Chain A
């Protein structure tokens, strides 16, 4: 079983890794991180903070864009070019294919994050900061975890959406909503309306809470959220969320026709 899953993961990773559009995106990402060096000149006496803030912001955005592009490439080839039918008749279970596909996509995102983080660390060292600051590394790790949750959600959305653009639009919507749910919940509590509160509660628990993974804003915060308990709970949340979404996706994928 593992051999089949890893075969699919490797295939998807190679496919994404060599895709020209994704290559260009990686180059842009590296340039964006490099730009933090220039922008930090604007913040006197807080250069290192500016580098970290801008660098982590770029890592988050480009990791998400890598996910969107990888998903779009995969879906286009599977649905429009019908590459999936030849693999689905092979001795592979559909959930194995789905897990392999998930691993291939997040491996692509991970590779991109590691590359961007390496560039950022060089710039931090150049600016006289500590590139091995544990908080920075944790912020990057949790950024990856956030995109991993989004990747499993994207696979679920691909079962519901009938077209590639449809899936991409849903994913962008989930990403935006995922950063806003906590604020929506607070607003709903203020209205005092039970129906609004109930609707927002459903959204809050169904849509992945992306703000949980946003550690970048806390790197310089004295009351930061870097306690082992918090990190443990967020990790548990992401593992459970990924397992649940991939299970639902596999059930829907089993019923899918090609």
Chain B
């Protein structure tokens, strides 16, 4: 199987901002993980387990203390690699006086999407996230859930091969869960790989092909969802057993 993400011995230690920098907190520790092409990979963990830290180190937003990340065959510093990925942060925020179309136009420009197809692509993603009729509306007039969908739209505007979603269901209503789930599954059907963090175990169960559990910054288990269901009966049972394992 072709791997799209390889993480080797990844460690991130935060140093405090005080003058002597004596205080250290382990964000993640010695993580080894491979994500294969076409997978929907779920990262589970309690609050403070290191899920967002891991995602940020993978994306280059945080510098690793040690270890390496290879994605789509290159480094996260490589512009060509970054043109092929998408990222949605938890509870995304956009400038409130800009219109929905202008926000996406900005991301499309930075991604270098040619002018001729830019507007077509923007309209396509707006339809995908069900914001087609809101294109001329200022962000301040969008609900929290709609802002989440706008965040998803900017993440998929370049039709990425590898999509990172940090708590994509955060702030959504049950209908929003279903719509986001449908988008993720549709992208996956088209051969895209998805890596996401979530607390919502029922959604993880429905979407993921494989999951990993982080606890206390350490990776305590990785399993195919099929195996989990056969052995534990539900994602919740599996999570309850595995999640506290690494807590010191």
Contact partner, B98, options A6, A14, A81, A93, Cβ 8 Å: A14
A91 within 8 A of B: yes
Taking a contact as CB atoms under 8 Å apart, the answer to whether A86 and B79 are in contact is no
Taking a contact as CB atoms under 8 Å apart, the answer to whether A91 and B110 are in contact is yes
**Residues of chain A from 102 to 123 with CB closer than 8 A to chain B in the complex:** none
**Interface readout for B83-115 with A: 1 if CB under 8 Å, 0 if not?**
101011100111101100010001101111000
Taking a contact as CB atoms under 8 Å apart, the answer to whether A14 and B111 are in contact is no
A8 to B94, CA, bound (A): 14
**Interface readout for A190-224 with B: 1 if CB under 8 Å, 0 if not?**
00000000000000000000000000000000000
* Nearest chain A residue, comparing its CB with the CB of B97: A18
Known interface pairs A89-B85, A91-B83. Does A4 touch B112 (Cβ–Cβ under 8 Å)?
A: yes
**Residues of chain A from 60 to 87 with CB closer than 8 A to chain B in the complex:** 77, 81-83, 85-87
A82 to B151, CA, bound (A): 13
Interface size on B, residues (CB 8 A): 32
A228 to B103, CA, bound (A): 44
A258 to B89, CA, bound (A): 11
The interface residues of chain A lying within 8 Å CB-to-CB of B85 are 89
Minimum CB–CB distance for A3 against chain B, Å:
6
Taking a contact as CB atoms under 8 Å apart, the answer to whether A91 and B111 are in contact is yes
Of the four ranges (under 10, 10 to 19, 20 to 34, 35 or more), the interface on chain A belongs to: 20 to 34
* Nearest chain A residue, comparing its CB with the CB of B90: A82
A10 within 8 A of B: yes
The interface residues of chain A lying within 8 Å CB-to-CB of B79 are 91-93
Contact partner, A87, options B88, B97, B110, Cβ 8 Å: B110
The interface residues of chain A lying within 8 Å CB-to-CB of B189 are none
Taking a contact as CB atoms under 8 Å apart, the answer to whether A10 and B106 are in contact is yes
A91 to B74, CA, bound (A): 13
With a 10 A CB-CB cut-off, give which of A20, A85, A258 has the most chain B CB atoms. Answer: A85
- Chain A contacts to B: CB under 8 angstroms: 3-4, 6-8, 10-11, 14-15, 18-20, 77, 81-83, 85-93, 162, 255, 257-258
User: What are 23 A-B residue pairs whose CB atoms fall within 8 Å in the complex?
Assistant: A3-B112, A6-B109, A7-B109, A11-B106, A14-B97, A15-B95, A18-B97, A19-B97, A77-B93, A82-B89, A85-B61, A85-B89, A86-B89, A86-B92, A88-B61, A89-B82, A90-B111, A91-B79, A91-B80, A91-B82, A91-B112, A93-B79, A257-B62
